[in-house]
Amino acid sequence: MNQQYNILLIINFLRMKKNKIMKDYWRVCWMALLLVALFFGSCSDDNDSNGDSDNAAFDPNIPVQVSGINPTTGGFGQRLVISGENFGNDPSIVNVFVGGKKAIVINVKNHSIYCLVPSQAYSGEIEVQISNGDNPVVSTIAEAKFEYVRKQLVSTLCGSRRDDGGYDTKDGPFNDCGAFGSPNWLEFDPKYPHLVYVAADRGAGDENEGNGNMRILDLKNQYVGTALTEGDMGGTNRGRALAFFDENHMAVAVDQGDELRAAVYGFTRNREAPEGDERNYKMWGNRLALVNFKACNTVTFHPVDGDMYFNSWDKGQFFKVEKQQIQEIFDGTRTTPADKEVLFQMDNGWEYNIRIHPTGNYAYIVSINKHYIQRTNYDWASKRFVTPFIVAGTAERAAYVDGIGTSARFNTPYQGVFVKNPEYAGQEDEYDFILCDKMGQCIRKITPQGKVSTFAGRGSASLNGNPWGYVDGDLRQEARFDRPKGIAYDEATDTYYIGDGSNRRIRKIAYEGEE
């Protein structure tokens, strides 16, 4: 077979399969590797006829040399070709180490080795070893180094099931803390940034089980504790969200059906975070009703003006409560719940979360049961959010589609976080919005321009046709989630923490070496 003809076949194959590669990575990778193997074979056919030495066996009497690598930079899983002399033709006797980590060798020709870069190959030093029976191993180190680029990976922080598939809910170290029944909202403690609160909503649905206790992830001591029990929250098992008024005052949105009862409770910090071997995380008390209403899904505070915002599923109301009244309740100078003002409303049965941009310029309304994202701009003069408009998705059109604006589709989007993107430095808006797409079984990203893409999840296509599951690894090629809901982001370490609902675990997205 003609060598040039084979090259054209491979190029045409890759062109036709470009989109498929992105969706079905490993399957296509192995197909591509098969083609590469055929290419090597075809080359050997041509070379044999031409008397070329590329298919020659390893000669222990000739030095092994490395003359180059291609490409010179990449990350875990990168396909790498090492050029040189006297590699032989037997992959079983050739070992390649990149940064001290053993690489997967795919094929070997006398003048080239084809392999995959291993994970955590940080130093980039390339070593080729050839064993030849009982003879000493021949080793050579390349002059050029591979520039290893760390990748973000999905891992499991804590949570586990029993062998029978069930699970326990208990306090304990990360490796023995049971599981998380419904980790639907995550938030960092503003005073103790190593603590992450996990609100639980034991409502209807497969991922909503266990109890409604609010739990704490102690990242420093690698321990899971309990911050508030159902009893501490007025007997409700539906803690939908939490937010901090200041370092020592916390608000918790509870979902209950009586408009004369609390929609948002306030708590005051009555002790500091545990130190040393202490593991008592009951730091909050003096429960007070901040505002009354029913069917509340969310609560948040404006980052500049400090006013509180919450909602109701009832008619989709978007409420405002003045900061001064919240302050008076916490100070004890006001003994009744705060007054509330409806700024606008959606429609009956509108379930949503509110996330305010760090600048305070606007907020995203994440419509959980209507499957789209709206934006409401902040009027600084009147200190009010105004009528919202659609940013991404379309109301009541549940699906999974990446795209721009209303062409994109979500399926039960849930909690999201604003994340500063260095590529946007100097632009009017420097933040992406990263959110859980619960029934989309993934983590999505929305740019300031409304472009929606998939950030993590729906990988390992070769396992089965399902987008959900429990798989750690590469963000897109391997990782799987099962109904992710809650998400928190640590800007200092560029790390995400995710409440993975039906997997009953807390997952983590971080760069290699920190996962």
Q: DSSP readout, 208-277? A: --S---EEEEETTTTEEEEEE-TTTTTT-SBEEEEEEEETTEEEEEE--S-TTSEEEEEEEE-SPPP-TT
Secondary structure of 298-344 as H, E, C letters: CEEECCCCCCEEEECCCCCEEEEECHHHHHHHHHCCCCCCCCCEEEE
Q: Do 8 and 28 share a domain, yes or no?
A: yes
Which among 92, 119, 149 is the end of a domain? 149
131: in domain: yes
Residue 47's identity, in one-letter code, is N
Cβ-in-10-Å burial (0-12, 13-18, 19+) of 232 comes to buried
Q: Which residues pair with 40 in a beta bridge?
A: none
Position of tokens 């170290």?
Answer: 173
Q: Side by side, which strands form the sheet with 505-511?
A: 473-474, 152-158, 505-511, 495-500, 484-490
Q: Do 25 and 104 share a domain, yes or no?
A: no
Q: Which parts of the chain sit beneath pLDDT 70?
A: 1-52, 204-208, 515
| Cα(104)–Cα(101) distance, integer angstroms | 10
| Cα(455)–Cα(444) distance, integer angstroms | 5
Structure tokens at 370: 């209507």
Q: What are phi and psi of 258, to 5 degrees?
A: -115, 115
Structure tokens at 475: 């963000």
Residue 397's identity, in one-letter code, is R
Q: What pLDDT is recorded for position 135?
A: 78
Range 371-395 burial, b when 16+ CB lie within 10 A, else e: bbbbbbebeeeeebbeebebbbbbe
| Cα(81)–Cα(87) distance, integer angstroms | 12
Q: Do 78 and 116 share a domain, yes or no?
A: yes
**pTM confidence score:** 0.84
Half-sphere exposure of 34 (CA within 13 A, CB side): 7
Q: Do 111 and 26 share a domain, yes or no?
A: no
Q: Do 104 and 36 share a domain, yes or no?
A: no
110: in domain: yes
Cβ-in-10-Å burial (0-12, 13-18, 19+) of 300 comes to buried
**Total tally of structural domains belonging to the chain:** 2
**Structural contact between residues 323 and 243, judged by C-beta atoms closer than 8 angstroms:** no
Q: Do 37 and 114 share a domain, yes or no?
A: no
40: in domain: yes
Q: Do 59 and 47 share a domain, yes or no?
A: no
Which among 149, 179, 202 is the end of a domain? 149
194: in domain: no
Name the pairing type of β-strands 147-148 and 73-74.
parallel
| Cα(259)–Cα(266) distance, integer angstroms | 17
The parent domain of residue 69 ranges over: 54-149
Q: Do 139 and 90 share a domain, yes or no?
A: yes
**Residue 207: which of 175, 184, 189, 223 has the closest Cα?**
184
200: in domain: no
Specify the 3-state DSSP secondary structure of 504: coil
Q: Do 30 and 89 share a domain, yes or no?
A: no
Which among 52, 68, 86 is the end of a domain? 52
Q: Do 65 and 128 share a domain, yes or no?
A: yes
| Cα(85)–Cα(33) distance, integer angstroms | 22
442: in domain: no
Position of tokens 């190593």?
Answer: 194
Q: Do 17 and 65 share a domain, yes or no?
A: no
Alpha carbon 470 to chain centroid distance? 13
Q: What are phi and psi of 290, to 5 degrees?
A: -75, -40
5: in domain: yes
* Residue 68, domain CATH: 2.60.40.10
170: in domain: no
Q: Do 65 and 99 share a domain, yes or no?
A: yes
